Amino acid sequence: MEDILHNLEVIRQRIDRACLRSERDRETVKLLMATKTVSSERIKLALQAGENLIGENKVQELKEKYDDLRAIPHQAHFIGHLQSGRIKEVIRYADCIQSIDRWEIAEKLQRRLEYEDKTIDIFMQVNTSYEASKFGVAPTQAIQLAKELKTLDRLQLKGLMTIGLFSSEQEKVRKCFQLLKSIQEQLKENDIQLDDLSMGMSGDLETAIEEGSTIVRVGTAIFGKRIYPDSYYWNEGI
Ligand SMILES: *Cc1c(COP(=O)(O)O)cnc(C)c1O
């Protein structure tokens, strides 16, 4: 169990160094712990060590851990693929949904939030690697979808999220992050100002920070290897 504390220390140092190297203020980069398949006990250790942000891929897991973790101040983001049958639950258990990637789901979310008289923070997920296996709006459609999302008053669009290319070639991964950054800049020219860029994981967080990430999502490097198929890894959801 103490491996978690050690791993956290290593991750914090990696973030510190990446910020130094890219001359960024350390305060501008948050660590989100990707906690899929991790037990509440292990998540608690990390939260008690001073972290305050987790991300889950399945609504079911978010729900199961909610009671166990609610006594410890933290925020839970939903980072998996969202299906309409799970909207009711996700707005109950998540503080933010990072994976909004299509109008249909956003519109259903808006209706439900109206019904409950609530609002929720969202990010728009962009498929910057153009891989068919990944979710996210196509980069060419991103400006249009962001404009449409802005018309839904119960959804507070805070940023953009992407999963970089799964490759050991950092320069290819970097292209994905640069693309997300450029979409943020194009949106600004369209009067849509988004503060957050959620990008970078265990293997590529330094590159992501160099390219402007404000939230790195780290699982394996904190909690160790998970054992399950890749489809679950890359935000299959449910
Ligand atoms: C699992 C997951 C992460 C973390 O990936 P690691 O390589 O384990 O750090 C980040 N983002 C999403 C959407 C994930 O599903």
For residue 127, give the CATH number of its domain: 3.20.20.10
Q: What gap in Å lies between CA 96 and CA 9, rounded to an integer?
A: 26
Structure tokens at 135: 């979710």
Which atom number of ligand 1 is nearest to the Cα of residue 222? 9
Predicted local distance difference test score (pLDDT) of residue 25: 98
Report yes or no: 101 and 143 within 8 Å, Cβ to Cβ. no
* Ligand 1 site, residue 235, Cβ cutoff 6 A: yes
Which atom number of ligand 1 is nearest to the Cα of residue 235? 15
Q: Number of structural domains, the chain? A: 1
Q: How far is the CA of 204 from the centre of ligand 1 (A)?
A: 11
Q: How far is the CA of 234 from the centre of ligand 1 (A)?
A: 7
Reported pTM: 0.95
Low-confidence ranges of the chain (pLDDT < 50): 232, 238
Predicted local distance difference test score (pLDDT) of residue 226: 81
Predicted local distance difference test score (pLDDT) of residue 238: 42
Predicted local distance difference test score (pLDDT) of residue 132: 82
SS3 105: helix
Q: What gap in Å lies between CA 106 and CA 121, rounded to an integer?
A: 12
Residue 237: inside a domain: no
With a pLDDT cut of 70, the percent of the chain lying above it is 95
Residue 143: inside a domain: yes
Report yes or no: 100 and 106 within 8 Å, Cβ to Cβ. yes
Which atom number of ligand 1 is nearest to the Cα of residue 226? 8
Structure tokens at 142: 């991103």
Residue 231: inside a domain: no
Structure tokens at 111: 């209706």
SS3 171: helix
* Ligand 1 site, residue 36, Cβ cutoff 6 A: yes
Q: Helix and strand tally (H, E) in the chain?
A: 10, 8
Predicted local distance difference test score (pLDDT) of residue 134: 86
DSSP-assigned letter for residue 86: G
Q: What gap in Å lies between CA 199 and CA 177, rounded to an integer?
A: 7
Closest C-alpha to 114, from 87, 138, 139:
87
Residue 78: inside a domain: yes
Q: In terms of residue numbers, what domain contains 85? A: 2-226
